[in-house]
Amino acid sequence: MAIQSFSELDLKPELLQGIVAMGFETPTPIQSEALPIALEGRDLIGQAQTGTGKTATYGIPILQRLEPNRPVQALILCPTRELAIQVAEELTRIGRFLPARALPVYGGQAIERQIHALRQGPPIVVGTPGRLLDHLRRGTLSLEGVRFLVLDEADEMLDMGFIDDVEAILAETPAERQTMLFSATLPEPVERLARRFLREPARVRVAAPTLTVPAIEQYWVEVRDREKLEALCRFVDVEDPGMALVFCRTKRGVDELADHLQERGYSAQALHGDLSQRERDRVMAQFRSGQLEILVATDVAARGLDIEGVDYVFNYDIPQDPEVYVHRVGRTARAGRSGVAITFVTPRERSLLRLIERLTRARIERRAVPTVAEVRERHFRALAERVLDALEAGEGAPEEEEAQAVPEAEPDLAPYARIAHELLEQYESEQVVAHLLRMLDTGARSGALAEEEPSGPADFGDTGAEPGMVRLFIDIGRRDRVRPGDIVGAIAGESGIPGSVIGRIDIYDRFTFVEVPQEHAARVLRAMRDNQIRGKSVNIEPARRDR
Ligand code: AMP
């Protein structure tokens, strides 16, 4: 029986707390179907792609039934190291209030480190077949205690030629185990594997309903997670959407995005299930009356809302379910209006986009994030329009204006006209107007203009660097196993400055100093904001002499 809410499952409080902390509001379709079955201990074949919430689909039942202090109770096989790392992180995060760490084990990482980590007896191991087999042969991993076995992206795993390795690993696990297989497609080799190693498995797939999307313009844009905010701001600046509805996956995501947008000067509000009815009504009233340009919402909060006149729908996070896609984009183009839907897709989520396209038969065209030049163009044109509007209003209502559209009381221009005259006697008219425009200009809200026009090298005071350089402080150090190459790679990669111009690097136990040329310092600081080095979020700031 499908569930509507995680609270219908009899989960440990710590686990439920972890799910809430992840910001999951409701189960995704695959979770809704598969969780009750998997929690019973039945074998399972889940037909689902990455992005549908499949990791939590097998992760939650495993986390629920782990026993304390027993090593390697769950083994998850993944085709690639990226997936192994991602799965281990996701499970560790969901299980953060439980004693339930997941260790990723993959080729390419120093084997001694893995041996050391395996000795600690992690309850969950997530690995790629080759490296797992290596550990089995060395005797550094024992699978005797495995009670849960997952084959993730089984079709990929077989495509990559891992079948023998997978079989060899499965042979080392106890017969008394729950086996779950997840795969986007179920070709014969995957079915054969399932027949051999699963016992009367239940089958769950994300149903393929026939879906029709109203005739609106649909686009997708490839972005990385950390580029999403800037991308959204540029779209809003360039397209000037009027009313935009932005969907995020989680409540926390909604809150964070609304905060970031407000910080940048957009009128944006969050809408999600944690708001009281009164708060919701207030936000909705603001949105309907046009006081808000952007409403950021979760699917649950937006369900059942009847909002007229939404011009743009942004899928800041791509929906995991094609049906949700249809529901979301259907919020625009109501009452015969034209609408635009723009979906942000990270490289990992391409398959999800294809699924949506296939099931909805929608034509979703690719678009690029507006460039700095486009943002500038639009920004300055808007400035010119403001002046033109004022000029036209000042000249009295032109004949074609409708009679009742008389502008408000005409500004009394006389005192200004006198000053204008004086100024124009002394200066070139172009110069005067340009200065006035700059004074009117409140700046663009996306970061695009700031990036293009640095206000000269910023002064960071005495940072203790060599002449011409700025010394930066980063709160990551030897303790985090950071090496000079990591620092150079992160700075050069994120800011685009050549690695060769990066100066002296001093790594201490808990922090690091790095020198960069003065003219690039502001750019580096901007680029490194919200970024990570060696998987850890870092704080970076100009050093102070006294530190
Ligand atoms: P996966 O298909 O496991 O790669 O999951 C894709 C993304 O969806 C991950 O970022 C998960 O954290 C997220 N996710 C999984 N389940 C849910 C849920 N019930 N609600 C919202 N997000 C979810």
pTM: 0.52
290 residue type, one letter: G
Helices (H), ranges, 293-409: 299-302, 322-329, 350-360, 372-394
pLDDT at residue 49, rounded to an integer? 74
Tell me which DSSP letter residue 46 carries: E
> Ligand 1 centre and the CA of 104: distance in Å?
19
Ligand 1 atom nearest residue 22's Cα: 12
pLDDT at residue 538, rounded to an integer? 86
429 residue type, one letter: S
11 residue type, one letter: L
- Give dist(CA 322, CA 329) in Å, integer: 11
| Pairing of β 340-345 and β 44-47 | unpaired
- Strand, helix or coil at 408? coil
Ligand 1 atom nearest residue 348's Cα: 4
Longest dimension (CA), the chain: 95
Return the ∠ at Cα 367 (arms to 364 and 373), rounded to 5°: 160
Ligand 1 atom nearest residue 52's Cα: 2
**Quick one: which of 97, 91, 93 has its CA closest to 73?**
91
Q: Which helix (H) or strand (E) holds 255?
A: helix 251-263
- Give dist(CA 261, CA 265) in Å, integer: 6
Q: Which of 249, 316, 321 to mutate to test the pocket of ligand 1 (most atoms within 8 A of CB)?
A: 249
Question: Does the beta carbon of 53 sit less than 6 angstroms from any atom of ligand 1?
Answer: yes
- Strand, helix or coil at 523? helix
Q: Which of 55, 247, 316, 353 to mutate to test the pocket of ligand 1 (most atoms within 8 A of CB)?
A: 55
> Ligand 1 centre and the CA of 52: distance in Å?
6
Ligand 1 atom nearest residue 25's Cα: 20
Nearest alpha carbon, ligand 1 atom 16:
53
- Strand, helix or coil at 491? helix
Ligand 1 atom nearest residue 27's Cα: 19
Tell me which DSSP letter residue 445 carries: S
Question: Does the beta carbon of 319 sit less than 6 angstroms from any atom of ligand 1?
Answer: no
Residues of the chain within CATH 3.40.50.300 domain(s) are: 6-205, 217-370
Nearest alpha carbon, ligand 1 atom 6:
51
> Ligand 1 centre and the CA of 35: distance in Å?
14
Structure tokens at 273: 């299930």
CATH of 469-542, one of 3.90.79.10, 3.20.19.10, 3.40.50.720, 3.30.70.330: 3.30.70.330
Question: Does the beta carbon of 250 sit less than 6 angstroms from any atom of ligand 1?
Answer: yes
Residues of the chain within CATH 3.30.70.330 domain(s) are: 469-542
> Ligand 1 centre and the CA of 55: distance in Å?
7
Nearest alpha carbon, ligand 1 atom 15:
53
Ligand 1 atom nearest residue 51's Cα: 2
Length of the chain: 547
For 6-205, CATH gives 3.40.50.300
Q: Up-side HSE of residue 213: CA atoms within 13 Å toward CB?
A: 27
Nearest 10 degrees: CA dihedral of 280, 212, 341, 49? 90
303 residue type, one letter: R
Residues of the chain with pLDDT under 50: 208-210, 397-409, 452-456
pLDDT at residue 215, rounded to an integer? 64
Question: Does the beta carbon of 49 sit less than 6 angstroms from any atom of ligand 1?
Answer: no
- Dihedral sign (CA 499, 89, 116, 129): negative
- Give dist(CA 63, CA 56) in Å, integer: 10
pLDDT at residue 20, rounded to an integer? 93
In DSSP terms, which residues pair with 366 in a beta bridge? Answer: 220
Query: CA-CA distances (angstroms) from residue 344 to 44, 251, 317, 341, 353?
Result: 31, 18, 6, 10, 10
The answer regarding whether domain 217-370 maps to CATH 3.40.50.300 reads yes
Ligand 1 atom nearest residue 86's Cα: 4
Question: Does the beta carbon of 52 sit less than 6 angstroms from any atom of ligand 1?
Answer: yes
> Ligand 1 centre and the CA of 57: distance in Å?
9
